[in-house]
Structures are given as structure tokens and as C-alpha cells.
Chains A and B, each alone.
Chain A
Amino acid sequence: RKEVEQDPGPFNVPEGATVAFNCTYSNSASQSFFWYRQDCRKEPKLLMSVYSSGNEDGRFTAQLNRASQYISLLIRDSKLSDSATYLCVVNMGLDTGRRALTFGSGTRLQVQP
């Protein structure tokens, strides 16, 4: 079982739709959680952190469910510019460096006009 698992997609949605991605992680001691966005042939960039109580940033909402060991990302009112791969990133909490951040393989979103 992978340490961080994501549905690779692609998720094809029309503009204006609401779409949600889940990501499961295997280590119950994981301490911090993030969503990164990666455009085609570009570097990953931080989209948002995921806090225990859930958090919003404009059209994006992130949630954490520690009991079931998953995090989610909800995108409302999808825009064409949201088309990208969304990477789930988990800090396994082992130490400050080695394997501290584990990346999922990403979920691809394609928003269509």
C-alpha cells in the first residue's frame, strides 16, 4: 500500500462545476498536510495547507479526517485555469528532513468550457 494515495483521474468537469478530490495516508502519526498544485511541465507550488478544523481559501476548501486518515480538496465554481494536477503532501513526522514530506502521485483535473 502506498503511503499517500490519490485517484490519478483525470477528472473532467465543466466550468462552474464543483469537484472534490480525496487523498488517503497510511501513517496515523502524520503531522501536517498540504495540497500542492502542479501545472503541466511546471514545478509544484503550494496551494494550501490543511488544518485540523478545515480551512477555506476562496473557492478552495480543504478538510482533514484523522479518524479515517484522509484529506480532501473541494473546488467550487471551477475555472479553466484550475486545470492542473493536484498533489497531496503529508508530513509523516519522522524528523525534519528524511522522508518528512511524502508526495502523492497527483490527481489530474481538466476543466472544460
Chain B
Amino acid sequence: NAGVTQTPKFQVLKTGQSMTLQCAQDMNHEYMSWYRQDPGMGLRLIHYSVGAGITDQGEVPNGYNVSRSTTEDFPLRLLSAAPSQTSVYFCASSYSGGASHNSPLHFGNGTRLTVT
């Protein structure tokens, strides 16, 4: 049972480069989301999706794009990386957004991104 799989685990980019962080889940969760975690800031929601074909912005969406063509996959795209995007990125999924006591968020292992 793989759960939530994120790739890559580590990435170094130069300013202006683009890349896609991959996220896949095999639990048939409707809800998927991307967070970034920075020291002293907690996890902040970037984008989320409540089902295939539906995406919406979270708290800090600027500089990131997402798509949800299937229930399983929710890639995060950085079109033109900036040093301010240096962070740890977590993908998470659940049945109902994690807001229910019976449906917690399941997180991937994280991607450590450095933009120079």
C-alpha cells in the first residue's frame, strides 16, 4: 500500500528554471492538496483539488500551477523558479479535505527544493 508518493525527494534549480513536482495516491481520495513548509511559518496551502478536473487556490498560490486530470495524480508546476520558492513541499490527500475526524490528511514524504 503506497499511500501518497511524491517525487523527487530533493531538487536544486536555478532561478528561472521550471519543473514539476509529482504526486500520486492510490487510496481513491477525492481531495488532494499541496503545502509548503518554511521555518517558523507552519504548513501553508498552495493549491488544492476536490476531484478530477477541479482545482482551486489556497493561501499562497502565486508562482505555482496545478492540474487534476485523474483522481490519482496532482502535479505541482513551478513555471519560473525563484529563490523565495526554496522550501519543503508536501502533497496530501484525504476523503474529505482532512476536516473530518474520520478522514485525516495523508502526507507524502516531501520534496526539498532549493532555488539558487
Enumerate chain A interface residues (CB-CB to B < 8 A): 4, 8, 31-32, 34, 36, 41-46, 49, 51, 87, 89, 91, 93, 96-106
Contact = CB atoms under 8 A, between A and B. Distances in A.
Contacts of A96: 31, 50, 96-97, 99
The list of the 9 closest CB pairs from A to B, nearest first, reads A43-B107, A46-B104, A105-B42, A103-B43, A91-B99, A103-B42, A49-B101, A96-B97, A97-B48
B98 interface: yes
B57 interface: yes
B56 interface: yes
Contacts of B110: 41-43
A43 B56 contact: no
B100 A98 contact: no
Nearest to A44: B107
A104 B42 CA distance: 5
B47 to A, nearest CB: 10
Contacts of A93: 99
B85 to A, nearest CB: 19
Given A43-B107, A51-B101, A96-B96, 9 more contacts: A32-B100, A42-B110, A46-B104, A91-B99, A97-B33, A97-B97, A100-B97, A101-B105, A102-B42
A106 B110 CA distance: 17
Contacts of B48: 97-98
Contacts of B59: 99
Nearest to A34: B104
